[in-house]
């Protein structure tokens, strides 16, 4: 339908904060205030000195506590985000052949990064239509299974369990870590960027690594394979255990990540963050199921993400028009994932978002939908 000008939402309907994006996500004001308060005693100081290294130590301790990492697991940090980690894993974690579950934009990207690597066999790629997820297929020739805990582009969460005893189970947890429950016995590597559920900023990756993953890293590092130094997981590991990174990290994101971890851990840990997201998801999916013009895109309720909701709209409503009008009212970043090609909104429901704001958002949507339909 045609978009015919600016509909102003009544102020009393607006949420306290308008950030509902899927990444970067809402960073709590108290985190931003905390960073500003630290100011010159932290920002602009050397990452090789105790002030920053202690902050990295807080991140590593906070993650170890949040995920209840068993003895022998290590928290590895490096620059480059989850996307950088795919290249690092292509060089330093896959021995010969990997298998990738592909069910959306992000899960397909690791497979693409591996395809064509001259030192590897072509990867096995198992696909499923958007809105669902495929299952791994254990195989003797596969030494790394690449899973995605939450496919951020489609809003599908898949259950996690170790695929087999021989291959490493390596999980992209970028939008899951810090919100969706996980058992560390079920993964060898659980890696993510901090700008989704954990309220940090982009640019860095975190990889929680099992003993088997560490052994694999060391074994490949000791082989004759050439590895670009920046992508070396061996040097990421040896720097991380000293609370450092191979090259200069963004100090702001390290503080923001430490602060968010301590906020969640101090309130009851991962299960508390999960409950916050579940409460948000109940409100939003409940609204969509009841509204005659809306519908959750993911039809199986068990697969619906509690952090990124994809909500379809029926003609003559247009998701693009809704997103644009929300944006004009200061409610940001709910545009659908372009390549998915659905008439929808994608809405973040992160631990940083209080349920009252999700309730306010549904009231805003009710108001806008009615206004759009009446304009016709």
| Closest CB 78 distance from ligand PLP, rounded Å | 12
Given 83, 238, 265, 318, the residue binding ligand PLP (CB under 6 A): 83
How many residues bind ligand PLP (CB under 6 A)? The answer is 13
Q: Does 333 sit near ligand PLP (CB under 6 A)?
A: no
Rounded Cα distance between 239 and 204, Å, is 14
106 binds ligand PLP (CB under 6 A): yes
What are the DSSP calls for 213-282, one per residue?
Answer: HHHHHHHHHTSS----GGG-HHHHHHHHTTT--SS---HHHHHHHHHHHHHHHHTT-HHHHHHHHHHHHH
Q: How far is CA 318 from CA 211, 226, 256, 336, 345, in A?
A: 49, 50, 36, 11, 9
Q: What is the closest distance, in whole angstroms, from the C-beta atom of residue 264 to ligand PLP in the complex?
A: 18
- Give the side-chain half-sphere CA count within 13 A for 175: 30
CB closer to ligand PLP, 23 vs 184: 23
Q: What tokens does 214 get?
A: 């560490």
Q: Residue 54 CB, nearest distance to ligand PLP (Å)?
A: 25
Q: What is the smallest separation between the CB atom of 150 and ligand PLP, expressed in angstroms?
A: 6
> Closest by alpha carbon to 362, among 280, 302, 306?
280
206 binding ligand PLP? (CB under 6 A):
no
Residue among 157, 193, 280, 352 that touches ligand PLP (CB under 6 A): 193
User: In the complex, what is the shortest distance from the CB of residue 281 to ligand PLP, in angstroms, rounded to a whole number?
Assistant: 17
Q: Is 304 helix (H, G, I), strand (E, B) or coil?
A: strand
Residues between 5 and 64 that touch ligand PLP (CB under 6 A): 23
Considering only residues 127 through 166, tell me which ones interact with ligand PLP, judged by CB under 6 A: 148, 152
Closest approach of ligand PLP to the CB of residue 169, in Å? 16
The total number of residues shown for the chain amounts to 376
Nearer to ligand PLP, 190 or 263 (CB): 190
Cβ contact 202:226 at 8 Å: no
Residues that bind ligand PLP (CB under 6 A): 23, 81-83, 106, 148, 152, 172, 174-175, 193, 196, 202
């Amino acid at each position: 339908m045609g978009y015919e000008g600016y509909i102003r939402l009544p102020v009393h309907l607006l949420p306290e904060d308008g950030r509902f994006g899927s990444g970067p996500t809402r960073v709590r004001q108290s985190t931003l205030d905390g960073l500003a308060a630290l100011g010159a005693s932290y920002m602009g100081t050397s990452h090789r000195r105790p002030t920053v290294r202690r902050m990295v130590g807080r991140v590593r301790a906070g993650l170890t506590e949040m995920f209840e990492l068993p003895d022998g697991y290590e928290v590895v940090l490096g620059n480059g985000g989850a996307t950088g980690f795919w290249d690092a894993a292509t060089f330093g974690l896959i021995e010969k052949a990997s298998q990738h579950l592909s069910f959306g934009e992000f899960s397909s990207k690791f497979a693409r990064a591996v395809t064509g690597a001259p030192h590897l066999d072509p990867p096995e790629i198992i696909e499923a239509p958007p809105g669902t997820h495929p299952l791994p297929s254990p195989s003797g020739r596969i030494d790394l299974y690449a899973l995605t805990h939450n496919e951020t582009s489609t809003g599908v969460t898949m259950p996690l369990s170790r695929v087999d005893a021989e291959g490493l189970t390596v999980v992209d947890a970028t939008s899951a870590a810090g919100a969706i429950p996980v058992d560390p016995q079920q993964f060898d590597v659980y890696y993510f960027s901090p700008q989704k559920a954990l309220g940090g900023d982009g640019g860095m990756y975190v990889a929680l690594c099992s003993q088997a993953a560490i052994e694999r890293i060391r074994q490949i590092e000791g082989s004759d394979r050439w590895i670009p130094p920046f992508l070396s997981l061996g040097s990421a590991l040896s720097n991380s255990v000293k609370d450092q990174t191979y090259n200069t990290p963004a100090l702001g994101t390290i503080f923001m990540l430490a602060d968010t971890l301590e906020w969640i851990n101090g309130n009851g840990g991962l299960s508390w963050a999960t409950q916050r997201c579940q409460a948000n998801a109940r409100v939003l999916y409940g609204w969509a199921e009841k509204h005659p013009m809306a519908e959750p895109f993911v039809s199986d309720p068990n697969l619906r993400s509690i952090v990124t909701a994809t909500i379809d709209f029926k003609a003559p409503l247009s998701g693009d028009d809704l997103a644009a009008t929300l944006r004009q009212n200061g409610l940001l970043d709910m545009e659908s994932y372009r390549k998915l090609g659905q008439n929808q909104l994608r809405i973040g429901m992160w631990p940083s978002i209080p349920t009252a704001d999700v309730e306010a958002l549904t009231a805003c949507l009710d108001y806008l939908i009615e206004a759009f339909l009446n304009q016709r």
